[in-house]
Amino acid sequence: MDALDAYSQVVTGVAARVLPSVAALAVRTPRGAGAGSGVVFTDDGFLLTSAHVVAGADGGTAAFGDGTESRFDVVGADPLADLAVLRVHTPGVPPAVLGDADQLRIGQLVVAVGNPMGLAGSVTAGVVSGLGRSIPARDGRHVRLIDNVIQTDAALNPGNSGGALANSAGEVIGINTAVAGYGLGLAVPVNGPTRYIISELLSSGRVRRAWLGVAGMPVPLPPPVAERTGQRLGLRVVEVVPGSPAGVAGIYLGDVIISAGGSPVESVQTLQRLMLGPAIGARLPITVLRRGAYVDVVAVPAELAAA
- Reported as a single tens digit per residue, the pLDDT across 85-137 is 999 998 889 999 999 999 999 999 999 999 876 667 789 999 999 988 878 77
Q: What integer pLDDT is reported at residue 188 of this predicted model?
A: 94
Element (H, E) at 36: strand 32-40
The mean pLDDT value for 48-60 works out to 93
Summary mean pLDDT of the chain: 90
Domain 2-88 and domain 97-191 have a common topology: yes
Buried/exposed 163-195: b ≥16 CB within 10 Å, e otherwise: bbbbbeebbbbbbbbbbbeeebbbbbbbbebbe
The mean pLDDT value for 221-230 works out to 93
pLDDT band at 67 (very low <50, low <70, confident <90, very high): confident
Q: What superfamily does domain 97-191 belong to in CATH?
A: Trypsin-like serine proteases (2.40.10.10)
CA-CA distance, 78 to 142, in Å (whole number)?
Answer: 12
Q: Which fold has domain 210-303?
A: Pdz3 Domain (2.30.42)
CA-CA distance, 72 to 70, in Å (whole number)?
Answer: 6
Look up the CATH number of domain 2-88.
Answer: 2.40.10.10
The mean pLDDT value for 169-177 works out to 95
The mean pLDDT value for 30-50 works out to 91
Does residue 181 surpass a pLDDT of 70?
A: no
More confident residue, 297 or 79: 297
Q: Tell which residue, 99, 122, 121, 116, has the closest CA to residue 168.
A: 99
More confident residue, 235 or 32: 235
The mean pLDDT value for 18-45 works out to 91
Nearest 10 degrees: CA dihedral of 144, 149, 152, 158? -40
- Ranges of each domain in the chain: 2-88, 97-191, 210-303
* Cβ atoms 69, 88 nearer than 8 A: no
pLDDT band at 252 (very low <50, low <70, confident <90, very high): very high
Residues marked as catalytic:
52, 82, 161
Global pTM reads: 0.84
